[in-house]
């Protein structure tokens, strides 16, 4: 009986392209652990660049088809899909002095103005990524109106201090830090620029984040000095910008896009929130106008990450402390948000590959 050779399997898999990175899986180093037993049963692992890869099933099927076609002797073919998230943070400074050594990617969620549901998107993005098995953290950097304690139902949570570092609060598998955990939420504080940026720097240098694939940074709304200081202080992998469909909101988005471009932070894409309301008969009512976000993204040459409808479950999720992607998994809003999260993960993988970064 002829035996299948490892080289034949690798040759077959060299014909399978990674759809986003436009190279084959073998060249990208995504094939590991090839095993062939005496009955020519073949197994191997495909190491994806994120557990939230939307192409997981297509890639698996393409691998099976390639081995079947190129290696007819192969009997059963078992493909084990795993992932190792690539890192977009390590290029900013020498590895040694870099804060957040264990954090692979920091993503800023930003908006040109308030009231576009930016924090809701940040929270549900974090929950969606964590649901895929990624290690996720979330910083609520909105010093004027910290909403994350409420959205996670944790208004009374207090982080512990261990070895002079704050330990993030955990909920739904996500590590959380918010100014709301540290101050009484009903006390109005007037934050001046330098105070605000030093408070946020503490979240970076004095919080024990440990190992994370994604740390999501919910920025304060707008594009003023505080935002500028923050995005220059933190080694960001990229930014996600949230808007609503109205023209005015899109004018504000232009400011946000310019701000990130000015400081050379890659823009991962645009999420259009509150894009329509689904009526009981299934028709969509585009309350704020239609497809403004998609047109804007195209004109700016940035990825459109998805359109999230308005649903009662969004408000209910925000008030009840159970984010809507968990509470209402089957709803149109949750489906759209989960897709947007996959798209964010995908854009991070593409950005890191373009910058020549390896899985770490």
Tens digits of residue pLDDT in 303-338: 999 888 887 777 667 777 788 788 777 788 888 888
pLDDT in tens, 278-287: 777 777 787 7
Scan for tokens 């509150």, then name that residue. 274
Please report the domains of the chain, with CATH numbers, ordered by start residue.
6-83 (3.30.300.130), 103-354 (3.40.50.300)
54's CB contacts (< 8 A; 6+ apart) are 339, 342, 343, 346
Dist CA 66 CA 260 (whole Å): 42
- Distances from the Cα of 23 to the Cα of 28, 51, 219, 354, angstroms: 7, 19, 35, 12
The pLDDT score that the predictor gives to residue 235 is: 82
Residue pair 62/16 in contact by the 8 Å Cβ criterion: yes
Which residue ranges of the chain lie beneath pLDDT 70?
1, 90-99, 184-197, 247-249, 291, 315-316, 356-360
Query: What confidence score (pLDDT) does residue 186 get?
Result: 58
Query: Which pLDDT belongs to residue 135?
Result: 95
Residue 105 parent element (H or E):
strand 103-110
Q: Of 356, 341, 353, 352, whose CA–CA distance to 134 is shortest?
A: 341
Q: How far apart are CA 318 and CA 142, in angstroms?
A: 16
Q: Largest Cα–Cα distance in the chain?
A: 79
What is the structure's pLDDT at 120?
Answer: 87
What is the rounded radius of gyration, in angstroms, for the C-alpha atoms of the chain? 22
pLDDT for 192 equals: 64
Which secondary structure element, helix H or strand E, spans residue 338, and what is its range? helix 332-354
């Amino acid at each position: 009986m002829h035996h299948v050779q490892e080289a034949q399997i690798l040759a077959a898999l060299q014909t399978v392209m990674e759809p986003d990175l436009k190279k084959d899986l073998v060249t990208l180093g995504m094939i590991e652990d090839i095993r062939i037993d005496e009955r020519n049963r073949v197994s191997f692992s495909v190491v994806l660049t994120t557990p939230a890869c939307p192409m997981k099933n297509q890639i698996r099927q393409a691998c099976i088809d390639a081995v079947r076609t190129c290696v007819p002797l192969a009997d059963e073919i078992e493909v084990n899909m795993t992932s190792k998230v690539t890192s977009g943070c390590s290029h900013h400074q020498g590895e040694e002095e870099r804060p957040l050594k264990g954090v692979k990617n920091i993503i800023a969620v930003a908006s040109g103005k308030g009231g576009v549901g930016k924090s809701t998107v940040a929270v549900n993005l974090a929950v969606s990524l964590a649901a895929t098995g990624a290690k996720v953290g979330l910083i609520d950097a909105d010093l004027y109106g910290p909403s994350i304690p409420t959205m996670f139902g944790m208004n009374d949570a207090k982080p512990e201090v261990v070895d002079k570092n704050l330990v993030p609060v955990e909920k739904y598998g996500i590590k959380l830090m918010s100014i709301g955990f540290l101050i009484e939420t009903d006390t109005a504080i007037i934050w001046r620029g330098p105070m605000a940026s030093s408070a946020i720097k503490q979240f970076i240098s004095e919080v024990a984040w440990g190992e994370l694939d994604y740390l999501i940074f919910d920025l304060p709304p707008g594009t003023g000095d505080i935002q500028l200081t923050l995005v220059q202080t933190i080694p960001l992998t990229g930014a996600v910008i949230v808007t609503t469909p109205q023209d005015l909101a899109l004018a504000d988005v232009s400011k946000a896009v310019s701000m990130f471009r000015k400081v050379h932070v890659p823009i991962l894409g645009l999420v259009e929130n509150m894009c329509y309301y689904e009526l009981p008969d299934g028709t969509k009512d585009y309350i704020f106008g239609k497809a403004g976000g998609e047109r804007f993204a195209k004109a700016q040459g940035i990825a459109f990450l998805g359109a999230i409808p308005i649903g009662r479950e969004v408000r209910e999720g925000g008030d009840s402390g159970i984010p809507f992607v968990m509470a209402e998994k089957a709803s149109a809003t949750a489906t759209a948000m989960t897709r947007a999260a996959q798209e964010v993960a995908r854009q991070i993988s593409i950005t890191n590959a373009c910058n020549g970064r390896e899985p770490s």
